[in-house]
Amino acid sequence: MITETNGVFHIQTGVYSYLFKINSYGIPEHIHFGAPVKTEDAFALSCRPGLGWGSNIVLNPDDTTSCLDTLALEWSGSGRGDYRESPLELAGKSSDFRYVGSKIREGSAPMACSLPQAHGDCQTLELTLEQSDARLILYYTAYPTALVRRAVLENTGSSPMVLNKLMSFCLDLPGTYTMATFNGGWIAEMRRQDVSVRGSKVVNESLTGSSSNRHNPGFLLFEADATEDAGRVYGFNLLYSGNHYAAAQQSLQGLTRIMQGINPSNFSKELAPGEKFETPEAVLCCSDRGFGGLSENMHTFVSDHVIPAYWRGRPRPVLYNSWEGCVFDFNQRRLLDLARRAKDLGCELFVLDDGWFGARNNDKAGLGDYTVNKKKLPEGMEGLSQHIQDMGLEFGLWFEPESVNPDSDLYRAHPGWALTDGFPEVQGRNQLLLDLTKAEVRDYIVENVSRILDSAKISYVKWDMNRHSIALGAKAHDFILGLYEVLGRIFGPRPEILLESCSSGGNRFDLGMLCFSPQVWASDDTDPIERLTIQEGLSYLYPQSTVGAHVSAAPHGQTLRQTPLSTRGNVAFFGCLGYELDLKQLLPVEIREIKAQIAFYKQYREVFQYGRFRRTELGWQVSDGKTTLAGVFHTLVHAAPGYEQLRVRGLKTDTMYRVTALSQAIRVGQFGGLLKHVSPVNVDPNGVLLRVVDRYFTLPEGTEELTASGAALGSGIMLRPLFRGTGYDQSQRTQGDFGSDVYLVEEIEG
């Protein structure tokens, strides 16, 4: 509900209150963003400057409190005494916007450009501010667990103006915070890093042309005592896939100014008289229930209001992807053999990755030419997809439509379609970007991708993008607008196609892409131990249904690490499960284990994909209220490990629960020469016998089965001990490095 009472605006949901007032100078002053409060609390929650702070610029010489530099503001101009960073810059001009009116409407205010917007039930406050030659509208859209803000600037003067910066929002929060950002690079995405926000500015930005794997646009601000379960945490994110910028800085008065929007670096837009510029939507969330509460609010918002409505709550298929198994080396026979094996394992969707078109036999050629390679696929896409469908599998296809290899028919025909900056071209992965600011390029992509999609039975698309942009200033923004237009034109009329976006893994894991693609390939790094960091980083801001998570071969291509198949599965369960390895090379024991993994995941898929996610002491848990699944992950083992307690959150204290561990197999071969301690015959660790036995036989790890009350589980139940060097026995968890378990915690009826 949004109300206005004597100049005090109150945006209120069951989860948060956002309060600000229009002061006597027509300047919106921020009052509160946090737990729900009453409108009457406005005075008690407002900053009171008393006689002011001295030595400052004041709007009114008779009012020492009219110093903008010391007030908590909703927006700020420049040249009027507020020396903190301004969310708006007009070339060579100050700015001073004052309130002229407001409107409250049901729903959101539609945008005129192709930027994506959150959707669903909501209410919007439009706050209009003006100065002599421009109008600024600040939009506040209230969704149940998040507030969405954006700004629109209009040139109302008679001459052009140059806009160098326009943030989606600006906000001054009282208090001292630490900022958590999520940084990294290719195969190393989403590493949380914390930095204290005091007098020096802290900036989180991307300059690569995309939201980037270097610095995800989402970030958190939290108070020093915040934990997973308690304390104040704010979360911010942007529905945008281009260069982003966010800054936080604390003033002498203890106000922390926060802003987020399109990166102003090298950005400028000339606005003709009457012309407008719209920013992307920014998401603001808060919680007094710690990081866990914040993530819950963010997840709910993303699941209910960001991902395409058709896919809201819809189960995601278990997929097989051809990339890591085949790379570019395949033909129809090999693909159909893999599809048959994938089907036998329990997969539901077969995805043909890169290499199916033009001269795309490696990453040096063919990108841009979307004609099916008939040498590899003699029956075309229609024939291949039909065969796969006849097996009872759905079929999906990889595209990388925004890029072009110079060695391609497309580039030879239209060299001018590649994006250039006037300097000799520089390539990334042997490719250039197409100039999506050109209508004919957008039409080419829409026509070609649509043609392929309509030529076969395709229910899934992986939309990849593997090169960073070049510094193009405002054109980088126009490129992203072009991309959104293209995605809307292709997938708007085909909502039932499951779109998974990818950019060398998680180089574009952002809310802009999620408006079109319900899931994103989180990382080319499928090593489960690395995934613990990547998926946990994502979990702060993005629900698990958005995270593509695959089991691949070990040792891993990214780390050379050898990990148990069980752990690869257990980690990938907490996302949208897929398999990406050469199925022909699987051993009989691995086939058995994968079949069991897929069957288990399917049984609890809705909980894994849509349950409430929590980070815990030993790993992660998901829960739908009745069923909880808790993952316990180990990295390097220590000798003589102590007892381990599993705490399960969110259970009913008086209810009884059954706790079962997913049964796991132990590969005999992993014991090598140690087998002599248990085997009656002397087994050669390097001999044929052990190799053969290892293909077909496993040892049971033993299983956990106990009952406990919700109170006991919340307090922490004792798990079976870990292997201690005193022998193999099913009363303990026989796991070496990188072992893990998944516990099923179910309410006992009656």
Residue numbers of the site for ligand GLA (CB under 6 A)? 323, 353-354, 363, 398, 464, 466, 502, 504-505, 521, 524
Give yes or no for a cis peptide into 87 (omega within 30° of 0): no
Distance in Å, CB of 373 to ligand GLA, minimum: 14
Judge contact between 384 and 377, C-beta under 8 A. yes
Distance in Å, CB of 542 to ligand GLA, minimum: 18
User: Under the phi-then-psi rule, with left for phi > 0, alpha for psi from -120 to 50, and beta for the rest, what region is 447?
Assistant: alpha
Judge contact between 69 and 27, C-beta under 8 A. no
Judge contact between 322 and 338, C-beta under 8 A. yes
Distance CA 321, CA 577 (A): 11
Q: Residue 498 corresponds to which amino acid?
A: L
Q: Toward ligand GLA, which CB reaches closer, 296 or 524?
A: 524
Q: Is there a catalytic annotation at residue 524?
A: yes
Judge contact between 217 and 259, C-beta under 8 A. no
Distance in Å, CB of 190 to ligand GLA, minimum: 15
Judge contact between 5 and 39, C-beta under 8 A. yes
Distance in Å, CB of 331 to ligand GLA, minimum: 17
Q: Toward ligand GLA, which CB reaches closer, 465 or 666?
A: 465
**In 253-322, which residue ranges form alpha helices assigned H by DSSP?**
290-301
Q: Toward ligand GLA, which CB reaches closer, 218 or 506?
A: 506
Residue nearest to ligand GLA (CB): 354
Judge contact between 404 and 417, C-beta under 8 A. yes
Distance CA 117, CA 280 (A): 8
Judge contact between 32 and 17, C-beta under 8 A. yes
Distance in Å, CB of 228 to ligand GLA, minimum: 31
How far, in Å, are 173, 254, 354 from residue 54 at the CA level? Answer: 22, 16, 65
Judge contact between 98 and 131, C-beta under 8 A. yes
Q: Toward ligand GLA, which CB reaches closer, 253 or 533?
A: 533
Q: Toward ligand GLA, which CB reaches closer, 303 or 504?
A: 504
Query: Which residues does 49 contact at the CB level (< 8 Å), separation at least 6?
Result: 64, 65, 67, 70, 71
Query: Which residues does 638 contact at the CB level (< 8 Å), separation at least 6?
Result: none
Q: Toward ligand GLA, which CB reaches closer, 354 or 704?
A: 354
Torsion of CA 60, 94, 74, 194, to 10 degrees: -120
Take residue 345 and report the two structure tokens written for it: 């394992």
Judge contact between 321 and 330, C-beta under 8 A. no
The residue among 677, 673, 669, 619 whose CA lies nearest residue 648 is 619
Distance in Å, CB of 452 to ligand GLA, minimum: 16
Distance CA 710, CA 703 (A): 21
Q: Toward ligand GLA, which CB reaches closer, 264 or 505?
A: 505
The residue among 285, 384, 297 whose CA lies nearest residue 334 is 384
Q: Toward ligand GLA, which CB reaches closer, 497 or 520?
A: 520
Which H or E element spans position 452?
helix 439-455
What number of other Cβ atoms are within 10 A of residue 366's Cβ? Answer: 25
Distance in Å, CB of 335 to ligand GLA, minimum: 15
Q: Toward ligand GLA, which CB reaches closer, 346 or 505?
A: 505
Distance in Å, CB of 249 to ligand GLA, minimum: 36
Angle between helices 332-345 and 588-603 (to 10 degrees): 60
Distance in Å, CB of 245 to ligand GLA, minimum: 26
Distance in Å, CB of 548 to ligand GLA, minimum: 9
Q: Toward ligand GLA, which CB reaches closer, 83 or 328?
A: 328
Distance CA 200, CA 73 (A): 19
Distance CA 134, CA 121 (A): 31
Intra-chain end-to-end CA distance of the chain, in Å: 40
Distance in Å, CB of 398 to ligand GLA, minimum: 6
Distance CA 296, CA 614 (A): 8
Among 82, 478, 524, 525, the active-site one is 524
Judge contact between 646 and 632, C-beta under 8 A. yes
Among 82, 172, 353, 464, the active-site one is 464
Query: Which residues does 232 contact at the CB level (< 8 Å), separation at least 6?
Result: 34, 175, 222, 223, 226, 286, 287, 288
Distance in Å, CB of 315 to ligand GLA, minimum: 23
Q: Toward ligand GLA, which CB reaches closer, 204 or 504?
A: 504
Q: Residue 111 corresponds to which amino acid?
A: M
Distance CA 624, CA 606 (A): 8
**How much of the chain is in helix, strand and coil states, percent to nearest 5?**
25, 30, 45
Which residue is associated with the tokens 């996610």? 613
Distance in Å, CB of 35 to ligand GLA, minimum: 41
Q: Toward ligand GLA, which CB reaches closer, 139 or 460?
A: 460
Q: Toward ligand GLA, which CB reaches closer, 46 or 321?
A: 321
DSSP string, 544-579: GGGEEEEE--SS-TTT-----HHHHHHHHTTSEEEE
For the annotated catalytic residues, the residue numbers are 464, 524
